[in-house]
Structure 1
Amino acid sequence: MPCPAPDPARVASDLTAARHVLEAEAKALAEMSAALGAEFTRALDLLENRLLASEHGRVIVSGMGKSGHIGRKISATLASTGTPSFFVHPAEASHGDLGMITRDDALILLSKSGETPELADIIAYSRRFSIPLIAITEGRGSALGSAADVVLALPVNGEACPLGLAPTTSTTATLAMGDAIAVALLERRGFSASDFKTFHPGGKLGQRLLRVRELMHPLPEAPLIPPETRMADALIVMSAKSFGCVGIVDAAGVLAGIITDGDLRRHMSPDLLEAKAGAVMTASPKTVSPDALAAEALGIMNDLKITSLFAVTPEGNPVGLIHMHDCLRAGVS
Structure 2
Amino acid sequence: MFVERLHALTSFRLAVVSRDATVQDAALPLSRPGVGLVLVCDATGSLEGVISKSDLIRHLSSPTHASPPASALMSKSVITCGPKDDVRDVWQTMAARSLQNVPVINEAAKPLGILDIRDAMKVLFEEEELQERMLFNYVSGVGYR
Q: CA 1:297–1:317 in structure 2 vs 1: closer, same or farther (change >3 Å)?
A: same
Helix, strand or coil at the partner of 1:264: helix
**Change in CA separation of 1:218 and 1:325 when aligned onto 2, cut-off 3 Å:** closer
State the match for 1:71 in structure 2.
Answer: none
Q: TM-score, normalized by length of structure 1?
A: 0.35
Q: Deviations over 1:168-215 (max 9, x none)?
A: xxxxxxxxxxxxxxxxxxxxxxxxxxxxxxxxxxxxxxxxxx111112
2:101 counterpart residue number: 308
| Structure 1 residue corresponding to 2:2, chosen from 196, 211, 224 | 211
Name which of structure 1's ranges 215-224 and 237-246 shifts more when overlaid on structure 2.
215-224
Aligned pairs for 1:66-145 within 5 A: none
Q: Which residue of 1 aligns with 2:56?
A: 264
User: Larger C-alpha radius of gyration, 1 or 2?
Assistant: 1
Equivalent residue for 1:296? 89
Superposition CA RMSD, Å:
2.0
Aligned to 2:35: 243
CA contact (8 A) 2:83 2:104 kept: yes
Q: 1:222 aligns with which of 14, 20, 24?
A: 14
Q: Secondary structure at the match of 1:257?
A: strand
Aligned to 1:288, the other structure's residue is in SS state coil
| Contact preservation (8 Å) 1:223, 1:241 | no
Aligned to 1:317: 110
SS at match of 2:35: coil
Partner residue, 1:156 = none
Judge conservation of contact 2:40–2:50 (CA < 8 Å) in 1: yes
For 1:285, the equivalent position in structure 2 comes to 78
Aligned length: 123
**Larger relative contact order (CA 8 Å, sep ≥ 6):** 2
Contact 1:248 1:257 in 2 (8 A): yes
Relative distance call for 1:317 and 1:230 in structure 2 (3 A) is same
Question: Cα distance 1:305–1:221, how it changes in 2: closer, same or farther (>3 A)?
Answer: closer
1:284 Cα deviation after fit: 3.4
Q: Aligned partners of 2:83 and 2:121: how far apart in 1? A: 17
Q: Tell me, what secondary structure is at the counterpart of 1:320?
A: strand
User: What TM-score results when the alignment is normalised by the length of structure 2?
Assistant: 0.75
Match among 247, 254, 259 for residue 46 of structure 2: 254
Counterparts of 1:159-238 in structure 2 under 5 Å? 210-216=1-7, 217-219=9-11, 221-238=13-30
Query: Using the alignment, how far apart are the partners of 1:285 and 1:319 within structure 2?
Result: 15
- Amino acid aligned to 1:222: L
Q: 2:46·2:111 contact (CA, 8 Å) conserved in 1?
A: yes
